[in-house]
Amino acid sequence: MATTIHPTAIVEPGAQLGADCDIRAHAIVTRHCVLGDRVVVHPFAVIGGDPQYLKFDPATASGVRVGAGTVIREHVTLNRSIHADQATVIGANCFLMAASHAGHDCILGDHVVLANGVLLAGHVTVGDHTFMGGGAAVHQFCRIGESVMVAGHASITRDVPHFTMVAERDDVIGFNLVGLKRRGFSRQAMAELKAAFHAVYHTPGNIREVAARRLEAQRETTPEARRFLEFFAGGKRSFARARRGADGGGDPA
């Protein structure tokens, strides 16, 4: 199957489209875009538009890159980077539902789902296999980790660590056990994640320092648990906090 550009779609000269893409009627793909194979862009989506940044110079040579197999539904907007020779990046096999938005310089991993009306401000990163519920909004420069479940209408203003569930305003309510089981995480990995979660969130002191000490002590041996602890070493913002009573989830069985 060859790439299809439907009548009334706009694909500007200079845009790069992979094999078997499907650009539906009234969609706009600007010259700043690189789309992988099998990308589907539904009507009225705008891919590669200028960033919503008052100081932006439209002559800046920046772009948007979309990975293979990603589906972009109606009215989605993906803004290009504010920096020369850089790009807003959407990974492979993502599903961006209607009216969702990724601002300039966002980086989304693979298999990310943005439900209807999700709003990502500039410089937000989202890890692989993360699901964001409808109407969720994320502050600029926040990091959303891998395999995170973000509740609908959540307001995220802090970094959210890998493998967790977050709701309301930065409330971590436990681990995303359903998502981890679906990905085939071992019982050992889930048990170590629960122990690391409890140590980080229920030990008095600076959360970065607590996580660093736990990592250095090598109490956790699985790659998943160590990635959870390593998350706290990075970022520019503070961290979402565990809701009172959250213990990392139930029995991993």
- Judge if pTM exceeds 0.85: yes
Model pLDDT, residue 141: 97
105 belongs to the catalytic site: yes
Percent of the chain with pLDDT over 70: 96
- pLDDT value for 247: 63
> What confidence score (pLDDT) does residue 244 get?
72
Angle in degrees, CA 209, 187, 193, rounded to 5: 15
Predicted confidence at residue 251, as pLDDT, reads 45
Q: What is the 3-state secondary structure (H, E, C) of 206-239?
A: CHHHHHHHHHHHCCCCCHHHHHHHHHHHCCCCCE
Please report the pLDDT score of residue 246 as a whole number: 67
Backbone angles phi and psi of 89, in degrees to 5: -125, 125
Q: Mean pLDDT over all residues of the chain?
A: 94
From the CB of residue 61, how many other CB atoms can be counted at a distance below 10 Å?
Answer: 11
Given 36, 109, 122, 133, which residue is catalytic? 122
Determine which one of 32, 42, 104, 129 is catalytic. 104
Q: Which residue has the higher pLDDT, 19 or 202?
A: 19
pLDDT tens digits, one per residue of 82-97: 999 999 999 999 999 9
Query: What CATH number has the domain spanning 180-242?
Result: 1.20.1180
Q: Which of 21-25, 102-106, 233-237, 245-249 has the lowest mean pLDDT?
A: 245-249
For residue range 52-69, list pLDDT tens digits in order.
Answer: 999 999 999 999 999 999
What does the block give as tokens for 191? 């048990």
Answer yes or no: is pLDDT of 253 > 70. Answer: no
Q: What is the pLDDT of residue 243?
A: 79
pLDDT band at 209 (very low <50, low <70, confident <90, very high): very high
pLDDT of residue 212: 95
Start and end residues for every CATH 2.160.10.10 domain found in the chain: 4-141
Q: Where in the chain is the domain with CATH 1.20.1180?
A: 180-242
Taking the C-alpha atoms of residue 214 and residue 218, their distance in angstroms, rounded to an integer, is 7
Q: Provide the sign of the torsion angle of the four alpha carbons 166, 236, 234, 83, taken in this order.
A: positive
Catalytic residue among 22, 105, 128, 159: 105
Convert the pLDDT of each residue in 151-182 to its tens digit.
999 999 999 999 999 999 999 999 998 999 99
Domain 4-141 has CATH 3.30.70.1400: no
Q: Let me know if 122 is a catalytic residue.
A: yes
